[in-house]
Chain A
Amino acid sequence: MNTSPIIEFKNISKKFGDFFANEEITFSILPNTVHSLIGENGAGKTTLMKILFGIYKQDSGHIYINGNPVSFKNPLDAIMNNIGMVHQHFELIDDFTALENIVLGDEESDYGFLNLNKSRKVLIDIIAKYNLGINLDEKVCNISISEKQKIELLKLLYRKSEILIFDEPTAVLSPIEVEEFFKIIRKFKEEGKTILLITHKLNEIKELSDSVTVLRKGKVVYEVGSDALDISVLSREIVGELETVIDLNIRGDVKSEEPYIELNNIVYKHEKASALNGVNLSVYGGQIYSICGVEGNGQSEIVDLIAGITRKSSGSIQMKYDGISLVPDDRLEKGMVKEFNTGENVLLRNNKSKYISSSKIYDTAKAVVDKYDVRLPALNAPLESLSGGNQQKVIFGREIELDNNIMVFVHPTRGVDINATAYIHKIILEQRNKGKAVLLVTSDLDEALKLSDKIGIIYKGLIGKEFTRNEFDESTDKRNRVLQNIGKAMIGVNSD
């Protein structure tokens, strides 16, 4: 084939502080293809796309569209060049209707007065063509996630974008919705559009992509076309070399007689919507219990109830011990005070005296830093100056040192590099082997399978199916069928 690329990245670099988000990135994308950009969290995929879309400005390097150098100062420039982007977190205005959201920035108007009906006519045709049925007059705050994604698609189609960027488009969709989405993508391709897909799901790549570029730590490490695509090679390229390998199969039988955490028929309502609909859950000492599911099915509500952040509407919660160790999902928002240093963050949670002296801050920090192998610029550096993995180690260290019998870990390895992940997994298993009750909330099924003694699947505010280790252990021959059943349970389909 002798087509010239529609987009070319040449030596793109972008630094945040001292950290290279993108470093000398060079690759090109052919027109009318589905090109996947893949890599771990923090590999620099989103940053690169934001540069292409004019949200960030690269420090050096050039972008060429159809062979012409471009320099987008803002998204408007990108839109003018027929580029459209669906962001990982939908960019919608809750208080506006679907129609207003779609036309915003490209409104039909007469002398400055909105002419929404003119846009409506255009949209009705598009909706029919792509089978994207939504109510254009409904406010966005009242609609479901998959409808929100349809609005995002309509935004691109309304603007007649030819280059479409999707950032993790399927993360929030159920498998059936994912299928629908794939159909639309294929249709886009048939029409000659170029699609750039950011993802970290390997199966999506296999199903859709014509070519793949792998980013790791801000650099392009691997490029391959669909003809030579090998998933195992791809996954190794994504992850890179492992520094430490930990055997996660050393697990003694230390299960307690009575459960440490017991939830009975918990109902929780929030602003009319019911988030939890009668959850039953028991976690024993010496057990890792994982709650798995698509995000937003009630996981965070369970954690908040156990942590005492919110109150249940009905049902009973029994905890055998006072005090829990909690590593929350969002470490910047919930896990720490980023302006405080390590010692201060630990003492905030774990201080028996009324006074805090400088020497105490120093000693506390030193203990955690040494024990948990935290790497930081200075012992008294504010936590915001540490990398994500090291921040997470500080939080882990702090919570583990509390030595509570009940421990709750929420998405403990999200956005953490592979080595820190291995280390954190080791710590979690150690706690289990010491007889602690560990509740793990994760949407990473591999993580759950590796660590758990028991997995509960949460769907629409209910823990339906539970699976025990002997069902999904790597040694059992039932494993494949159980995995399928877990997958089905996560989307609320009854298994055989």
Chain B
Amino acid sequence: MLESIITYSFFMQVFRMFTPYYLGASAATFSERSGVVNIAIEGFMIISAFSYAAITIATQNPYLGLIGGLIIGILFSLFFSLFTIKLKINQIVIGVGFNLLMAGLAKFLMLLFFHSSSNTPGYPHIPRLPFLKSIPMIGDLTGDSIIIFALLLVFISQTVLFKTRFGLRLRSVGENPEAAETLGIKVRLYKSGGVIICGLLASLGGIWLASNQGSFSDGMVAGRGYIAIAAMIIGKWKPMNIFFACLMFAFFESLEIALQISGSGIPSQFVQMLPYLITILVLIGFVGKTKPPAADGIPY
């Protein structure tokens, strides 16, 4: 039975599913490394997925959809930093509020614009990269610029966080903002930086989902924003570890889909709950101790 599931297309699927997870998880990492907990990754993905859909439908230009989706993500992350950094409101509560707001807005605007409570009309996806899309076997993956970006992001985020001045300062405000401030570092600026990168990456994840699916539907993000946070925790806030955590979750999700199709009798619900269960087990400490940035979630 396993042979029928673990196929070539299954692996393709794993890397596709990996993409939104990794974008979301890196998003959360940049935010939390700067000391801001953002549990609204889900909402950021929803609103930018919808923005991509709406703009692409209106203009028939997926690039405008991409840019528009990213701008919306940045706008919302500016609001998010206003609430959490400027006003120092509890980050979790703001996160819950943002999730409700962004999911609600997407639902409302979908009905308003497209008169449907389930999905939007179809629209073009982001064009494949020339040359790279025609590489044999893996052209499906390499032709997709966002998948490529997500894979490169493993190295980019590792480098930015640990090898650059920006990264050192970003991490310092997440670990001990008082200490950073006494060294003349503008704490709020770097925290905002973390939050904006977070919004940008999470939005890109949402945009990929929307582009890949060809039509925005209610519930299409389906908890991926939360799984991304789980992947970040399991990955201990480190880009490389998070890569493997996301790969694992992508594997489970692909498996769930494959099981549903193959009618194997293994209840898909159990595979579905696995990422969440694993996260809890990791948190309890079965997979080693996890330590968030020291000042994570504490307003400064």
A adjacent to B, CB under 8 Å = yes
- Judge whether A155 and B183 touch: CB under 8 Å: yes
- Judge whether A112 and B181 touch: CB under 8 Å: no
- Judge whether A74 and B184 touch: CB under 8 Å: yes
Q: What CA separation (Å) do A155 and B184 show in the bound complex?
A: 12
Q: Which of B6-14, B41-49, B166-174 contacts A (4 or more CB under 8 A)?
A: B166-174
Please indicate the chain B residues that have their CB under 8 angstroms from the CB of A79 in the complex. Answer: 183-184
Please indicate the chain B residues that have their CB under 8 angstroms from the CB of A106 in the complex. Answer: 183-184
Quick one: closest B residue to A87, CB to CB? B182
Known: A79-B184, A104-B168, A114-B168. A91 touches B179 (CB 8 A): yes
Cβ proximity bits B181-210 to A, threshold 8 Å, 1 near / 0 not: 111111000000000000000000000000
- Judge whether B186 and A114 touch: CB under 8 Å: no
Which residues of B281-296 are within 8 A (CB) of A?
293-294
Q: What CA separation (Å) do A219 and B175 show in the bound complex?
A: 36
The B interface is mostly helix, strand or loop, or mixed, namely: helix
Chain A CB within 10 Å, residue with most, of B163, B179, B182, B294: B182
Q: Which of A34-42, A93-101, A205-213 contacts B (4 or more CB under 8 A)?
A: A93-101
Please indicate the chain B residues that have their CB under 8 angstroms from the CB of A155 in the complex. Answer: 183
A109 interface contact, C-beta 8 A: yes
Please indicate the chain B residues that have their CB under 8 angstroms from the CB of A70 in the complex. Answer: none
- Judge whether A74 and B175 touch: CB under 8 Å: no
Q: What CA separation (Å) do A473 and B182 show in the bound complex?
A: 46
Q: What CA separation (Å) do A422 and B152 show in the bound complex?
A: 67
A16 interface contact, C-beta 8 A: no
- Judge whether A74 and B168 touch: CB under 8 Å: no
Least CB distance from A112 to B in Å reads 5
A75 interface contact, C-beta 8 A: yes
- Judge whether B164 and A112 touch: CB under 8 Å: yes
Please indicate the chain B residues that have their CB under 8 angstroms from the CB of A94 in the complex. Answer: 175-176, 294
Interface footprint category on B: 20 to 34
- Judge whether B182 and A95 touch: CB under 8 Å: no
- Judge whether B182 and A109 touch: CB under 8 Å: no
Known: A74-B184, A85-B182, A104-B180. A96 touches B172 (CB 8 A): yes
- Judge whether B183 and A114 touch: CB under 8 Å: no
Please indicate the chain A residues that have their CB under 8 angstroms from the CB of B164 in the complex. Answer: 109, 112-114
Please indicate the chain A residues that have their CB under 8 angstroms from the CB of B293 in the complex. Answer: 95
Which residues of A76-123 are within 8 A (CB) of B?
76, 78-80, 85, 87, 91-96, 100-101, 104-107, 109, 112-114
- Judge whether A91 and B178 touch: CB under 8 Å: yes
Please indicate the chain B residues that have their CB under 8 angstroms from the CB of A109 in the complex. Answer: 164-165
- Judge whether A104 and B186 touch: CB under 8 Å: no
Please indicate the chain A residues that have their CB under 8 angstroms from the CB of B181 in the complex. Answer: 55, 74-75
Chain B CB within 10 Å, residue with most, of A85, A87, A93, A114: A93
- Judge whether B183 and A104 touch: CB under 8 Å: yes
Least CB distance from B86 to A in Å reads 16
Quick one: closest B residue to A103, CB to CB? B168
The A interface is mostly helix, strand or loop, or mixed, namely: loop
Please indicate the chain A residues that have their CB under 8 angstroms from the CB of B186 in the complex. Answer: 74, 76
Least CB distance from A417 to B in Å reads 27
Which residues of B265-293 are within 8 A (CB) of A?
293
Which residues of A450-466 are within 8 A (CB) of B?
none
- Judge whether A75 and B179 touch: CB under 8 Å: no
Interface footprint category on A: 20 to 34
Known: A105-B169, A112-B164. A95 touches B294 (CB 8 A): yes
Please indicate the chain A residues that have their CB under 8 angstroms from the CB of B185 in the complex. Answer: 76, 104-105
Q: What CA separation (Å) do A101 and B163 show in the bound complex?
A: 15
- Judge whether B166 and A112 touch: CB under 8 Å: yes
- Judge whether A107 and B165 touch: CB under 8 Å: yes
- Judge whether B182 and A112 touch: CB under 8 Å: no
- Judge whether B182 and A113 touch: CB under 8 Å: no
Quick one: closest A residue to B166, CB to CB? A112
Q: What CA separation (Å) do A113 and B163 show in the bound complex?
A: 6
Q: What CA separation (Å) do A92 and B178 show in the bound complex?
A: 9
Please indicate the chain B residues that have their CB under 8 angstroms from the CB of A93 in the complex. Answer: 172, 175-176, 179-180, 294
Least CB distance from A168 to B in Å reads 15
Please indicate the chain A residues that have their CB under 8 angstroms from the CB of B163 in the complex. Answer: 113-114
- Judge whether A91 and B166 touch: CB under 8 Å: no
Least CB distance from B279 to A in Å reads 23
Known: A107-B165, A112-B164, A114-B164. A55 touches B182 (CB 8 A): yes
Least CB distance from B191 to A in Å reads 15
Q: What CA separation (Å) do A138 and B168 show in the bound complex?
A: 16
Please indicate the chain B residues that have their CB under 8 angstroms from the CB of A76 in the complex. Answer: 184-186
Q: What CA separation (Å) do A28 and B182 show in the bound complex?
A: 24
Please indicate the chain A residues that have their CB under 8 angstroms from the CB of B168 in the complex. Answer: 100, 104, 107, 114
Q: What CA separation (Å) do A55 and B182 show in the bound complex?
A: 8
Q: What CA separation (Å) do A87 and B164 show in the bound complex?
A: 27
Least CB distance from A61 to B in Å reads 22
- Judge whether A75 and B183 touch: CB under 8 Å: yes
Please indicate the chain A residues that have their CB under 8 angstroms from the CB of B183 in the complex. Answer: 75, 79, 91, 104-106, 155
Q: What CA separation (Å) do A176 and B150 show in the bound complex?
A: 55
Q: What CA separation (Å) do A251 and B199 show in the bound complex?
A: 69
- Judge whether A104 and B178 touch: CB under 8 Å: no
Q: What CA separation (Å) do A76 and B169 show in the bound complex?
A: 14
Q: What CA separation (Å) do A15 and B169 show in the bound complex?
A: 32
Q: What CA separation (Å) do A238 and B294 show in the bound complex?
A: 38
Please indicate the chain A residues that have their CB under 8 angstroms from the CB of B169 in the complex. Answer: 104-105
Q: What CA separation (Å) do A100 and B183 show in the bound complex?
A: 12
Please indicate the chain B residues that have their CB under 8 angstroms from the CB of A55 in the complex. Answer: 181-182
- Judge whether B165 and A112 touch: CB under 8 Å: yes
Quick one: closest B residue to A94, CB to CB? B294
Please indicate the chain A residues that have their CB under 8 angstroms from the CB of B182 in the complex. Answer: 53, 55, 75, 85, 87, 91
Least CB distance from A95 to B in Å reads 5
Least CB distance from B288 to A in Å reads 16
Which residues of B146-165 are within 8 A (CB) of A?
163-165
Least CB distance from B236 to A in Å reads 12
Q: What CA separation (Å) do A397 and B239 show in the bound complex?
A: 54
Q: What CA separation (Å) do A79 and B186 show in the bound complex?
A: 13
Quick one: closest B residue to A95, CB to CB? B175
Q: List 22 A-B contacts (CB under 8 A).
A: A53-B182, A55-B182, A75-B181, A75-B184, A79-B183, A91-B178, A91-B179, A92-B176, A93-B179, A95-B175, A95-B293, A95-B294, A96-B171, A101-B179, A104-B168, A105-B180, A105-B184, A107-B168, A109-B165, A112-B165, A114-B163, A155-B183
Instruction: Report the 4 A-B pairs with minimum CB-CB distance, sorted nearest first.
Output: A76-B184, A105-B183, A91-B179, A93-B175
